[in-house]
Chain A
């Protein structure tokens, strides 16, 4: 158990819908990262927050957005969902904005 929690574990929804994924970092970690993992692409970095502020952006679609709240938990919002958005979404956290990251168990999103 890494200490990072994610909810929900599974999410099944339809095309065009909007969903919110939630992540709580390890106690004491200030930085949160979101990654997408699909079978053909591997783990792809989406976005990073550090102490409430956006720090870095990766290959995140405009339909996706995220935020980190004062209690340091983070939410990833996915809207206008498409079939291709079906994937595992992982949250990771680290003490600072660098160094090793500890991953949560993931949310499996299925878009039908």
Chain B
């Protein structure tokens, strides 16, 4: 069964304290792995797509990496405005769930000034 597990569930950082969020996945052929940011009561905001092991993508203070079993979202020198829930999702290449995204439960990040 395709599934995504994110850890930790919650993460509290001081402003400027770098850290990483983990996303472990099991999928019947990975078509793509996606990172989203979600603010309370809002829709998920697309951040990155990763397609193959070894791929990296960067945007401002965020950097996403991918291996064959997991992905990391590295946050460098975070600011309070980076506080949000970060969601990881996979899209399968095979099986009946092609096309739709399978989401993890997210990591709630809080950055204190």
| Pair count A-B, CB < 8 A | 67
B87 and A43 contacting across the interface, CB-CB below 8 Å: yes
Contact A100 B49, CB 8 Å, known A42-B103, A43-B103: yes
A103 and B43 contacting across the interface, CB-CB below 8 Å: yes
A100 and B44 contacting across the interface, CB-CB below 8 Å: no
Assembly CA distance A88 to B39 (angstroms): 13
The binding surface of chain A is classed by DSSP as: strand
Residues of B within 8 A of A55 (CB): 99
Assembly CA distance A33 to B99 (angstroms): 9
Contact partner, B46, options A31, A33, A102, Cβ 8 Å: A102
Please report B residues at the A interface, Cβ cutoff 8 Å. Answer: 31-32, 34, 36, 41-46, 49, 87, 89, 91, 96-106
Please report A residues at the B interface, Cβ cutoff 8 Å. Answer: 2, 4, 31, 33, 42-45, 48, 50, 55-56, 58, 88, 90, 92, 97-106, 108
